[in-house]
C-alpha cells in the first residue's frame, strides 16, 4: 500500500498529482495566497508542501507566502491561536496593499 501512496522521494502521490491541477486552475487568473502548515503534519508532509509552494511561485504575477507553525499537526490541534495570528497578519498586510492601490 505504501508504494501506491509514495514515490521514490517519499512525496505522497495524491498531493503530487493535485499540484498540476492546482497550477492549471490558477493559470488563467493567478492570485497570491498564504500557505500554512504544521511542522509536525503527518498527513501532508512538509516536503510535499514545499514542492507545491515552489511550483506555485513560478507563476507570473503571484506571490505565495509560506509559513510553518512549530509543533502543529495537520489540524493545528493546540495551535489554533498561532494559526490565527499568522492568518490575521497576512490578511492585514494584503488589505493594506489594496488600500495603497486605491
Q: Which residues have CB under 8 Å from 70's CB, separation 6+?
A: 39
With cell 495537520, the residue in question is 74
- Judged by DSSP in three states, 32 sits in coil
- Domain 2-101: CATH class, spelled out: alpha beta
Asked if 56 contacts 22 with a C-beta cutoff of 8 angstroms, the reply is: yes
Q: Which residues have CB under 8 Å from 51's CB, separation 6+?
A: 11, 16, 19
Residue-wise pLDDT for 57-96, tens only, equals 888 778 889 999 999 999 999 999 999 999 999 999 989 9
Cell of 9: 522521494
Domain limits of the chain?
A: 2-101
Residue-wise pLDDT for 22-31, tens only, equals 444 444 455 7
**Residue 81 burial (CB count, 10 A):** 9
Amino acid at each position: 500500500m505504501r508504494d501506491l501512496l509514495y514515490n521514490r522521494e517519499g512525496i505522497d502521490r495524491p498531493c503530487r498529482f493535485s499540484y498540476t491541477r492546482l497550477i492549471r486552475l490558477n493559470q488563467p487568473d493567478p492570485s497570491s495566497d498564504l500557505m500554512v502548515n504544521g511542522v509536525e503534519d503527518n498527513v501532508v508532509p512538509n516536503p510535499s508542501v514545499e514542492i507545491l509552494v515552489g511550483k506555485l511561485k513560478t507563476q507570473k504575477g503571484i506571490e505565495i507566502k509560506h509559513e510553518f507553525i512549530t509543533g502543529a499537526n495537520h489540524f493545528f490541534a493546540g495551535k489554533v491561536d498561532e494559526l490565527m495570528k499568522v492568518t490575521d497578519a497576512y490578511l492585514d498586510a494584503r488589505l493594506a496593499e489594496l488600500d495603497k492601490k486605491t
